[in-house]
A and B are shown apart, each in its own frame.
Chain A
Amino acid sequence: MKINLLNITKKLDLTLVGLVLLLVAFGEVMIYSATYFNAPEGDSYYYLKRQLLWFLIGLPAVVAIFFIDLKKWTNYAIFFYAGNCILLVMVFFFESTLGAQRWIQVGPFSIQPSEFIKLIILITLSSYFAARKGEIGGRDILVGLLYLLIPLGLIMLQPDLGTSLVLLAIFFGAIFIGGADIKNIAILLLAGMVLFFGAYEFNVLKDYQIERLTVFLDPESDTRGAGYNLIQSKIAIGSGGLFGKGLDAGSQSDLGFVPISYADFIFAVIGEKTGFFGLLLLLGMFFFLLIRTFQISSQARDLFGSLVAGSIAVMWVFQLFVNVGMTMGIMPITGIPLPFISYGGSSLLTNMVAVGFLLNVSADRYR
């Protein structure tokens, strides 16, 4: 491939790049603001530095993906898939953190393989359904489901309900965009619900999972356990008011009332410190990012590109809604990070690779 600089600037979707850079910068500032007061080893930049490092690691990956023909990726997808499934098995040999085995320790960093599988599944499903040329039958759906089942099962075993749900969201997004019958999708959703309640009835889900999933309906029922986190999160957001308390203030965030303030509940920190206008700014950035992604999807050169971009949009919107909804008490508590904002290297890297895919799809139409 010849690299023509002029060509690149013309092909590069600067709107998308700009929005992503803004979001990441916003996230970095908020990670600092959430942790400066209680940073480990007395280093108030501890989390900020690590997150920046992951961003820098992610940059060459974005560049590489931008230049590689996405379709060629699909030829190797099975190897990535297998490799990632092996990583998902490996997590069970590492120490459990907070009652779940999700991480592989590599030197000073923890890697979360369940983050990467999202994109591998997304690419493979897009490729498979694109080949159906808009005619996705019941049999195709079942094949896609089978493909999904192995990593899904492994992730449920960790257990990581949140990521499992993201995978299902990607799947539903792909078949919806790919042209499956609305009737079939409805049947599948219904079957999923029956399965879920079956799992509930036969105690396949752990007690704490059920508790976390249902406590948002009545947080006062458990003011010391799962409900406590939710109440504190709502207090943090609510007390931020219109303008917030400032990046260097906010008793809920700084004094440890908001749980995992720099990762899962970072939206609550932003709410307390920057107030309604800060949240409006954040949600606005996300909204434009998603609109841009839908545009890329609709302008893609082929169905494959549309499916990749559209599924990424579905993945992000699902994560955003579930994470933000959770901090405000309108969605169950699941450990889903807020894309680009929550602290976590694997999550940031995955989302940057997704941006790489989008830039690729976006540039593809000029070919």
Chain B
Amino acid sequence: MDDLGKLSQSTDNVADNTFVRLRMLSYFVFLLFLILISRVWYLQVIKGDEFRDMAKNNSIRNLQVEAPRGFIYDRSGQILVKNRPSPTATMRPEALKDDPMIVDKLSKVLVMSTADIMVRLNNKKYDPLKPRPIKEDLTLSEIAYLNEHQGELKGVNLEVRSVREYPFKDMAAHVLGYVGEVSDSELKKMSEESYTAGDTIGKTNLERSYEPYLKGLKGSQIVEVNAAGKQIRRLSRNDAIPGNSVVLTIDTKIQKAAEQALVNSIGRAHRQKFPRANAGAIVVMDPNNGDVLALASYPKYDPSTFINGITNDEWKTLNSKESGYPLIDRAVDASYPPGSTLKPIVAYGALKEGIVTATTSFYCAGRWIGFGKKWGKYCWRRSGHGATNLGKAIAESCDIYFYNVGYKFQQQKKEKLQYWSRQFGYGEKTGIDLVSESRGRVPDAAWKREFNKKRDPKNVSWLPGDTVNISIGQGDFLATPLQIAYSYQAFANGGKLYEPRLVSKILDPKLMTMKTIPPVVSREFDDKSYINQVRSGLRRVVTEGTAKGAFAGFNVPVAGKTGTAQVFGKDDYALFVGMAPYDDPKYVIAVIVEQGGHGASVAAPAVREILGSIYGLKDKVRDVSDSSR
């Protein structure tokens, strides 16, 4: 140690011993410095890269930027669903470890119980690294408080989230559907798509079926944060691409009218001593292109309930018998016996199969004994219709005529009744853009064998009575209101079935059309004369038949068919399918009121109301008491 060289020139006053000890001390100090410098070398040079990465991970965060979801417009460009900003308080779960009192502080600020905060904080669905939303739609004073007290509330952040807004409240909720947080099972299913826990996803109906268009593309930004997790600066940014918008064929005016008419029909049913009427559906279609102009289902729900996450209680209520299961879209997802509304289809099939001609006549004495006197079946009009041909049978909805037709179909043993029903779209999905569409049911021998194998093993073989029952739209035959409207397009436009079209256009984020969805003809019936024979029968329903009373004094020429379907253990279901104007129908309207009683007196007036509203008529719908089917 040269620096200590002078120690050797020790002065007389320092004892030799002291000198030696100082020298020992200085060697010891040298050793300590060696230790420190080797440690510095180890940390900075040997482990330097490792620590540099750790420093980066500490302060550099890659944040997702949510893409604004696309809007949904009606056919005239009115906004049905848009987004609005929702100021949200979020909290990083680790913040609790740094400050155990933070939840108490938050509970005072946000006026929430600590238990509620803990529930949201411990929500396992979330990415553990992501801040969890604690309270949405903060008030201005809550925002101000959080901003001022950031220092005391480390780990709590203010985020502006984009949430759905419904300018027309619950209107068309069943068409639009709702959005919510992506669930575990959805995450598993869509692993290849870029969803992470906490993301928003369309849950039902259009929001679901157009999810790939509506959701857009998430962006990201790389930010630097401080030790408290607060963002200091943005290092790079990759903008989110907003979702595409969807233009519907729905006409808001008609949709509103249909929803109102449905409510009115239920009231009408109650006045006609059918107090159990509590649900129903209406479908309005344009038979010239398949556009769905309105889809109403009752009872309704408010999709905004789902915006900030639905509570368990709310969810239970929406799925309870008491509330009438409002989440079900009865126009599309629910199947009903079509009752007499199936008769025009049966009639067309009978004409095609040569079972009847327009002039073939059966005598209706109110009772049919094709299976022997013991097995007599009755017409809804016990006094009978007398000699009845096809036109009259449709107009008067004569059951005896159709029992005869059904019996003849049965004798053919070719299941042609089922065949023609399927030709009109029954028993299969129409292909509307709604994921939970029901296919209804066209029963046949194969179905019955399979269906009853376990439930009713003694009753697996198809009986002639089964075919006869189907011929009046009963038995095990089921159809959705949409299927019924869909099938009547053929009678309205002279033989074509258009696929129900709910979305006409998709717009990019700049609102330029990126995709047009043209009308699609799914089936065409070439026997115009048969179609027209049935069609004129449908006109007679309104002019002289079962719906004469319902449309008395109405200025628009309407054609249609009443239906009163029997459901075991329940009051009759009221149905009506109408089309107008008769000469060149622009609208096909199917109405069903569960346990509403008679089609003519409960369902038909709904069609009159909707048409009155479409044509701007000052029409007053009076209650008629018509017990025809």
A interface residues (Cβ-Cβ under 8 A, vs B): 133-134, 173, 176-179, 224, 232, 234-242, 251-252, 255-257, 271-272, 275-276, 279-280, 283, 286-288, 290-291, 294-295, 297-303, 306, 310, 313-314, 317, 321, 324-325, 328, 330, 365
* Partner-contacting stretch, out of B226-234, B333-341, B583-591: B226-234
Cβ of A197 to closest chain B Cβ, rounded Å? 24
Asked whether A283 and B40 contact (CB < 8 A) given A239-B48, A321-B32, the answer is yes
Are B227 and A280 neighbours in the complex by a CB distance under 8 Å?
no
Q: How far is the CA of A179 from the CA of B47 in the complex (A)?
A: 43
Please, which residues of chain A bring their CB within 8 A of the CB of B29? Answer: 287, 290, 294, 313, 317
Are A236 and B55 neighbours in the complex by a CB distance under 8 Å?
yes
B191 at the interface (CB under 8 A from A): no
Are B226 and A256 neighbours in the complex by a CB distance under 8 Å?
yes
Interface residues of B, CB < 8 Å — how many? Answer: 50
Are B26 and A239 neighbours in the complex by a CB distance under 8 Å?
no
Chain B 24-67: CB-based contact to A (< 8 A → 1; otherwise 0): 01100100110111011101110110111011101110000000
Q: Choose among B36, B44, B51, B232 the residue that contacts A283 (Cβ–Cβ < 8 A).
A: B36
Are B48 and A238 neighbours in the complex by a CB distance under 8 Å?
yes
Q: How far is the CA of A272 from the CA of B48 in the complex (A)?
A: 10
Please, which residues of chain B bring their CB within 8 A of the CB of A179? Answer: 15, 17-18, 21
Q: How far is the CA of A295 from the CA of B22 in the complex (A)?
A: 9
Cβ of A359 to closest chain B Cβ, rounded Å? 17
Asked whether A235 and B39 contact (CB < 8 A) given A134-B18, A255-B232, the answer is no
Asked whether A330 and B21 contact (CB < 8 A) given A224-B98, A238-B44, A257-B58, the answer is no
Cβ of A275 to closest chain B Cβ, rounded Å? 6
Q: How far is the CA of A272 from the CA of B18 in the complex (A)?
A: 40
Are B44 and A240 neighbours in the complex by a CB distance under 8 Å?
yes
Please, which residues of chain B bring their CB within 8 A of the CB of A300? Answer: 11, 13-14
Are B226 and A255 neighbours in the complex by a CB distance under 8 Å?
yes
Sample 15 A-B pairs with CB under 8 A, ordered by A number: A232-B58, A237-B40, A238-B50, A238-B51, A239-B52, A241-B52, A256-B226, A280-B37, A280-B40, A287-B29, A291-B3, A298-B6, A299-B14, A313-B25, A325-B36
Are A310 and B51 neighbours in the complex by a CB distance under 8 Å?
no
Are A301 and B13 neighbours in the complex by a CB distance under 8 Å?
yes
Q: Choose among A291, A303, A321 the residue that contacts B26 (Cβ–Cβ < 8 A).
A: A291
Q: How far is the CA of A292 from the CA of B60 in the complex (A)?
A: 45
Are A294 and B22 neighbours in the complex by a CB distance under 8 Å?
yes
Please, which residues of chain B bring their CB within 8 A of the CB of A280? Answer: 37, 40
Asked whether A306 and B14 contact (CB < 8 A) given A176-B25, A297-B22, the answer is yes
A-B pairs, 9 with minimum CB distance:
A238-B51, A256-B227, A239-B55, A255-B226, A251-B59, A238-B43, A241-B48, A239-B52, A239-B51
Nearest to A307 among chain B residues (CB) is B18
Asked whether A298 and B10 contact (CB < 8 A) given A134-B15, A237-B43, A290-B29, the answer is yes
B interface residues (Cβ-Cβ under 8 A, vs A): 3-4, 6-7, 9-11, 13-15, 17-19, 21-23, 25-26, 29, 32-33, 35-37, 39-41, 43-45, 47-48, 50-52, 54-56, 58-60, 94, 97-98, 224-228, 232
Please, which residues of chain B bring their CB within 8 A of the CB of A286? Answer: 33
Cβ of B123 to closest chain A Cβ, rounded Å? 21
Please, which residues of chain A bring their CB within 8 A of the CB of B19? Answer: 298
Please, which residues of chain B bring their CB within 8 A of the CB of A238? Answer: 43-44, 47-48, 50-52, 54-55
Q: How far is the CA of A333 from the CA of B9 in the complex (A)?
A: 41
Nearest to A176 among chain B residues (CB) is B21
Are B36 and A324 neighbours in the complex by a CB distance under 8 Å?
yes
Please, which residues of chain B bring their CB within 8 A of the CB of A330? Answer: 35, 39
Are B18 and A177 neighbours in the complex by a CB distance under 8 Å?
yes
Are B40 and A298 neighbours in the complex by a CB distance under 8 Å?
no
Are A279 and B44 neighbours in the complex by a CB distance under 8 Å?
yes
Please, which residues of chain B bring their CB within 8 A of the CB of A232? Answer: 58, 227
Nearest to A288 among chain B residues (CB) is B3
Please, which residues of chain B bring their CB within 8 A of the CB of A325? Answer: 36, 39
Are B224 and A255 neighbours in the complex by a CB distance under 8 Å?
yes
Nearest to B226 among chain A residues (CB) is A255
Are B44 and A276 neighbours in the complex by a CB distance under 8 Å?
yes
Please, which residues of chain B bring their CB within 8 A of the CB of A241? Answer: 44-45, 48, 52
Q: How far is the CA of A301 from the CA of B461 in the complex (A)?
A: 125
Q: How far is the CA of A287 from the CA of B6 in the complex (A)?
A: 16
Are B59 and A295 neighbours in the complex by a CB distance under 8 Å?
no
Are B232 and A298 neighbours in the complex by a CB distance under 8 Å?
no
Cβ of A190 to closest chain B Cβ, rounded Å? 19
Please, which residues of chain A bring their CB within 8 A of the CB of B14? Answer: 298-300, 302-303, 306
Asked whether A328 and B55 contact (CB < 8 A) given A303-B13, A317-B29, A317-B32, the answer is no
Are B59 and A255 neighbours in the complex by a CB distance under 8 Å?
yes
Q: How far is the CA of A299 from the CA of B14 in the complex (A)?
A: 8
Q: In the complex, which of the residues B40, B44, B51 has the most CB atoms of chain A within 10 Å of its own CB atom?
A: B44
Q: Choose among A257, A283, A295, A301 the residue that contacts B33 (Cβ–Cβ < 8 A).
A: A283
Please, which residues of chain A bring their CB within 8 A of the CB of B227? Answer: 232, 255-257
Q: How far is the CA of A353 from the CA of B51 in the complex (A)?
A: 39
Are A295 and B52 neighbours in the complex by a CB distance under 8 Å?
no
Are A275 and B44 neighbours in the complex by a CB distance under 8 Å?
yes
Cβ of B530 to closest chain A Cβ, rounded Å? 81
Please, which residues of chain A bring their CB within 8 A of the CB of B26? Answer: 290-291, 294
Q: How far is the CA of A287 from the CA of B35 in the complex (A)?
A: 13
Q: How far is the CA of A341 from the CA of B25 in the complex (A)?
A: 23
Please, which residues of chain A bring their CB within 8 A of the CB of B48? Answer: 238-242
Q: A241-B45, A257-B55, A310-B25 given. 12 additional CB < 8 A pairs?
A: A179-B15, A237-B43, A237-B44, A240-B48, A251-B58, A271-B43, A276-B41, A280-B40, A294-B7, A295-B7, A298-B14, A303-B15
Q: How far is the CA of A299 from the CA of B9 in the complex (A)?
A: 8
Q: Choose among A272, A298, A314, A324 the residue that contacts B7 (Cβ–Cβ < 8 A).
A: A298
Please, which residues of chain A bring their CB within 8 A of the CB of B22? Answer: 177, 294, 297-298, 306, 310
Q: How far is the CA of A256 from the CA of B225 in the complex (A)?
A: 10
Are A302 and B4 neighbours in the complex by a CB distance under 8 Å?
no
Nearest to B227 among chain A residues (CB) is A256
Are A235 and B55 neighbours in the complex by a CB distance under 8 Å?
yes
Q: How far is the CA of A303 from the CA of B33 in the complex (A)?
A: 27
Q: How far is the CA of A157 from the CA of B39 in the complex (A)?
A: 33
Q: In the complex, which of the residues B21, B23, B54 has the most CB atoms of chain A within 10 Å of its own CB atom?
A: B21
Please, which residues of chain B bring their CB within 8 A of the CB of A283? Answer: 33, 36-37, 40
Q: How far is the CA of A237 from the CA of B43 in the complex (A)?
A: 7
Please, which residues of chain A bring their CB within 8 A of the CB of B98? Answer: 224
Q: How far is the CA of A295 from the CA of B8 in the complex (A)?
A: 10
Asked whether A134 and B17 contact (CB < 8 A) given A251-B59, A321-B36, the answer is yes
Q: How far is the CA of A303 from the CA of B14 in the complex (A)?
A: 6
Q: How far is the CA of A8 from the CA of B599 in the complex (A)?
A: 121
Q: How far is the CA of A3 from the CA of B14 in the complex (A)?
A: 28
Q: Choose among B35, B40, B50, B224 the residue that contacts A279 (Cβ–Cβ < 8 A).
A: B40
Are A303 and B44 neighbours in the complex by a CB distance under 8 Å?
no
Asked whether A314 and B25 contact (CB < 8 A) given A235-B55, A255-B224, the answer is yes
Cβ of B5 to closest chain A Cβ, rounded Å? 9
Are A237 and B11 neighbours in the complex by a CB distance under 8 Å?
no
Cβ of A358 to closest chain B Cβ, rounded Å? 14
Q: How far is the CA of A302 from the CA of B40 in the complex (A)?
A: 38
Please, which residues of chain B bring their CB within 8 A of the CB of A271? Answer: 40, 43-44
Please, which residues of chain B bring their CB within 8 A of the CB of A242? Answer: 44-45, 48
Please, which residues of chain B bring their CB within 8 A of the CB of A294? Answer: 4, 7, 22, 25-26, 29
